[in-house]
């Protein structure tokens, strides 16, 4: 099966969907599922694109992510570290690790994300989590929630 790129990070027969529909705080993101998994190969390949100045939800979960940036630039919080990221950089998000992606103000941030089909739901930070994150200056400055 070939899933063909139509240009501008859109693909034939792949709908452009909202990032989430659960009321979680995020800003200006779309989601496209490029590979939906199969019976014996239980993983999904998704493409997320964050518009300039936008961000993903601050969350953690048991399942891991492998992410590859394929468009633009931004920054990412993983655990207690904020890193600049750009095209072709790889990000691994370990289990139960706070993470949030942000696009730079003048550039989108587009990335591939590989996850297992069978995965737990993300958890958002509660007041104690936020108090902990706020003890880390780089995280405190970075997070949006």
Is 123 near its own copies (CB under 8 A)? Answer: no
Catalytic residue among 50, 77, 113, 143: 113
113 is catalytic: yes
- What one-character-per-residue DSSP string does 19-73 give? S-SS----EEEEEEEEE---SS--EEEEEEEEEEEEE---BB-SS-EEEEEEEEE
Q: Which of the ranges 18-26, 99-107, 108-116, 129-137 carries the binding residues for its own copies, by CB under 8 A?
A: 108-116
132 closest CA partner among 98, 105, 85: 98
Positions touching its own copies (CB under 8 A) are 1-5, 9, 11, 34-35, 38, 40-41, 43, 45, 63-64, 66, 68, 70, 76, 78, 83, 85-92, 94-95, 112, 114, 116
Residues that are catalytic: 113
């Amino acid at each position: 099966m070939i899933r063909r790129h139509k240009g501008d990070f859109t693909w034939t027969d792949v709908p452009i969907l909202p990032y989430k529909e659960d009321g979680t705080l995020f800003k200006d993101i779309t989601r496209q599922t490029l590979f939906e998994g199969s019976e014996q190969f239980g993983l999904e390949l998704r493409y997320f694109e964050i518009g300039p100045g936008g961000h993903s939800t601050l969350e953690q979960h048991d399942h891991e992510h492998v992410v590859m940036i394929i468009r633009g630039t931004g920054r990412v919080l993983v655990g207690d570290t904020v890193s600049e990221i750009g095209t072709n950089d790889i990000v691994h998000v370990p289990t139960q690790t706070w993470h949030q992606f942000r696009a730079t103000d003048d550039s989108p941030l587009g990335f591939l994300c590989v996850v297992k089909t069978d995965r737990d739901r993300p958890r958002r930070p509660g007041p104690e989590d936020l108090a902990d994150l706020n003890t880390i200056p780089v995280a405190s400055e970075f997070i949006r929630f």
